[in-house]
Amino acid sequence: EDNFSVVASNDLEILGEYGVGAADKILSTEGSIYIKGGIAGKNKAVVRCKKNLYVKYLSDITVECEGSVYVGFYCMNSNVRAKQLIVESPKGRIIGGRIDVDILTSAAEIGNNGETRTIIRVRGFDRSAMKLELDDTLKIINEHKKNITKIKQHLQVYGSSYSLTSEQAAVYEKLKSEYADLKEVIKELEYKVRSLNDYLRTPGEGAVVAKTRIYPKVRIEIKNQYEEILRSEPMITYYYKDNEIKKM
């Protein structure tokens, strides 16, 4: 389907088997986007989301995502800005385009035999700062959970009372709304904890992983250090540690 736009505030699902053609934009201002098929964007489609994008394939498209991009099979000639780009199939590929992520880019194959120019930039992260952020977030969740337990106890007291004065009824409603708000806050913080734990599994402070092969004409940049791939290499990880790009 070409030439349509869709904007949602929360999670957005597009369930057609054949995916999406040259849409103008697909946007989720607060949530994730799930596209059952893929997107062949014909160089005009833009996908933006606050959280993660889950899609079968990406081709000739621009993606701007504050979370991670999970692709089933391939990412071709696309411009992707995200926390991570992970192509999940054992034969998954990234060919062409410009990939700009903070944490990790991973696929079975990066580049191709035809040596299509492929640019991968990993901005990198500060591991110790991220661990502190994780600890702080866990502490905040614990505080919120203590509060929610207290609110629950109050709610039970009000809920089991048969006759509430109008003042008590107002308090009861206020508590119910506080309880709902707090549950939402905890849910968001738990999403953040899952994301941070995921990022911390990355080797070094930013990495590019080619699980089966990387090809010539791929250029890798991690934390402003560069590596031009001049010959095909099997199964290799490039990661940033001690101010340089290392391989394993």
pLDDT at 156: 87
CB within 8 A of 224, min separation 6: which ones? none
pLDDT at 18: 63
pLDDT at 49: 94
189 in Cβ contact with 141 (< 8 Å): yes
- Total-model pTM: 0.88
Read off the amino acid at residue 232: S
pLDDT at 209: 98
When computed from its CA atoms, the radius of gyration of the chain, rounded to whole angstroms, is 22
pLDDT at 17: 67
CA–chain centroid gap for 6, Å, is 20
pLDDT at 4: 72
Domain spans of the chain?
A: 5-125+203-247, 127-200
pLDDT at 50: 94
**To 10 degrees, the CA torsion angle through 130, 132, 137, 140?**
-170
Domain at 127-200, CATH class: mainly alpha
Alpha carbon distance 100, 50 (integer Å):
16
Place of tokens 């600890």: 135
Extract the residue ranges of the chain whose pLDDT is less than 70: 1-3, 17-19, 21-22
pLDDT at 42: 81
